[in-house]
Structure 1
Amino acid sequence: MLNDYVRKGNPKSRNRAYVVHRLDRDTSGILLFAKSEQAKTFLQEHWEQTDKRYLAIVHGRLTPKEGKISTYLAENSAQRVYSTLDPARGKLSHTTYTVLKEARGFSLVEIHLLTGRKHQIRVHFAGKGHPVAGDRKYGNGDPASKRLALHARSISFTHPFSKKKMTFDTGMPEEFARLLGKM
């Protein structure tokens, strides 16, 4: 669909969108695409300097109310990601968080993703005993949310050509507000 939009309805157009990163299937929010391969390469090469913020609703009340989760993440043959203490088996992953609100056994958490590994947020919070609401893969089976309560809220990066700092923020999804209202 995005390529059709970029091509303005002309299927023979050479214009296209280049994927810079991905989100987990059920995660909502901001996705970054580039209009040229050169821009895509620049953004991917500078990915560690890209500031990525998420919102999540997790089970339970976290203590401390802000902190950093650091583990090595590995993937088994069933494509399930897990934390390990063995640096030879996994990639070091860092997630910081701040609790914004707590109610009825849930916490709204702002997350700063310092590395970007597959299922990182979901595995880190499940490992702390606070899985993301609605997470069918790493959750506790409680159908608190019809969807995964994880949202890529904002992204800040250096523009590949102008070198200006660019920031995009979507705020909180209406569904999160409804879920929080029920809390």
Structure 2
Amino acid sequence: MKFIVDEVHEGLTVGEFLKARGFSGRALRRLKREGKIFLNGEKVFASAKVTSGNIVEVDLSEESKIKPSYVPINILYEDEHIIVLNKQPGVVVHPTPFCRDGTIANGVMHYLNKKGKRGGFHPVNRLDRDTSGVLVIALNQYMHGFLQAHGRIEKIYVAVVEGSVKEERGVIEEKIGRKEESLIERRVTESGKKAVTHFKVLRRLKGYTVLEVKPLTGRTHQIRVHLSHLGHPVAGDTLYGGKNDKIKRQALHCAEMSFFYPLKGTRVAFKALLPLDMLSLMEEAGDSGAVFGSLDKEKAK
């Protein structure tokens, strides 16, 4: 990645200049340690001074230690810095001590290797195993750090919940923390961390309500916990009170994700089509598909 120094930044060190361009301290330390910083084509220390018109270049390529193996991935967009997927349900995003293979990470590494490319695996957003939808993967630490710090990320989910939600729209602002007797489950608790979720009704069906959900914070299981606390658990979400007789996983889908992308110099938005199991659930409950025509038919941008 190359940057041209302007007059505003003249006199800074290379390190200071790169920090001004959004590089995190961690990313800078790695670049310095690996000798991947260049000024006008010459390898330099981060303490070197820059002047107007200089070209600062950094080598952002990474080697991942994640084992490549074939896992189907549905790519919505890709360039040298990010890959955007429509993640399928039932697949873990990142390897764990209990699940080292068969993850999205293994599949992305296999895909990159097959194309002769290198890259790290840095998820910008988190999706549970059984949640589907837009998943953005940064291929280097710089882009991951930039999007987390400066991307102003916004996410829109579609959730099918049990029962009829009374309000047409609302805000759930309840703190969320870990449930004492569980390593996985979360709950609403005053000792937890601030969590805010906006929702509005998209469609009322027989026994279900379809919601558009916008989380303003990123707590673990936030949407699932908040909707369960509202008295309307996500269909299929047995961990938080939902029934799985009509769908075998939580009916929760990240339908859209948008953020400021420095390579484009503007905000970008990516949309993921609703999966068949959620469409089938809604159709069985009386949905005609009209409300979701744009989601079903529009190609992800």
TM-score, reference length from structure 2: 0.56
* Greater Rg over alpha carbons, structure: 2
Q: 1:171 aligns with which of 259, 273, 277?
A: 273
Question: Of the candidates 168, 179, 186, which is equivalent to residue 76 of structure 1?
Answer: 179
Structure 1 counterpart SS, 2:195: strand
Which of 93, 110, 132 is the matching residue for 1:4?
110
Return the offset for 1:146. Answer: 1.8
State whether structure 2 residue 158 is matched by structure 1 residue 38: no
Matches within 5 A, 1:1-183: 1-8=107-114, 14-46=118-150, 49-77=152-180, 78-79=182-183, 80-84=185-189, 86=190, 89-141=191-243, 143-183=245-285
Q: How far apart, CA to CA, are the structure 2 residues paired with 1:72 and 1:45?
A: 23
Measure how far apart 1:22 and its partner are: 1.5
Which residues of structure 1 form unaligned runs of 5+?
none
Residues 34-65 of structure 1: per-residue CA shift (max 9 Å, x gap): 12210011112236x21100001000111211
Give the Å deviation of 1:170.
1.2
Q: SS where residue 21 of structure 1 aligns?
A: coil
Structure 2: distance between partners of 1:160 and 1:3: 24
Structure 2 residue runs of 5 or longer lacking an equivalent are 1-106, 286-301
In the alignment, the residues of structure 2 paired with residue 170 and residue 9 of structure 1 have an alpha-carbon distance, to the nearest angstrom, of: 24
Matched letter for residue 275 of structure 2: P
CA-CA distance at 1:14 after TM superposition: 4.4
Select between 138-147 and 110-119 the one with higher mean Cα deviation: 138-147
Answer yes or no: is the 8 Å Cα contact 1:6–1:17 preserved in 2.
no
Question: Could you tell me how far apart the structure 2 residues matched to 1:23 and 1:14 are?
Answer: 24
Aligned-residue offset at 1:24: 1.3
Contact 2:112 2:118 in 1 (8 A): no
Q: Is the 8 A contact 1:6 1:16 kept in 2?
A: no
SS of 2:135's equivalent in the other structure is coil
Give 1:142 shift. Answer: 5.2
Tell me: higher relative CO, structure 1 or 2? Use CA pairs within 8 A at least 6 residues apart: 1
Aligned residues: 177
**SS across alignment from 1:26:** coil
Measured in 2, the distance between the counterparts of 1:100 and 1:162 equals 32
Q: TM-score, normalized by length of structure 1?
A: 0.89
User: What is the one-letter code of the residue matched to 1:179?
Assistant: L
Counterpart amino acid of 2:141?
A: E
Instruction: Evaluate the alpha carbon distance shift between residue 151 and residue 115 of structure 1 in structure 2; reply closer, same or farther with a 3 A threshold.
Output: same
Runs of 4+ in 1 over 6 A off after TM superposition: none
Letter in 2 for 1:36: N
Query: CA contact under 8 A between 1:7 and 1:15: conserved in structure 2?
Result: no
The structural deviation recorded for 1:2 is 0.3
CA displacement at 1:160 relative to structure 2: 3.5
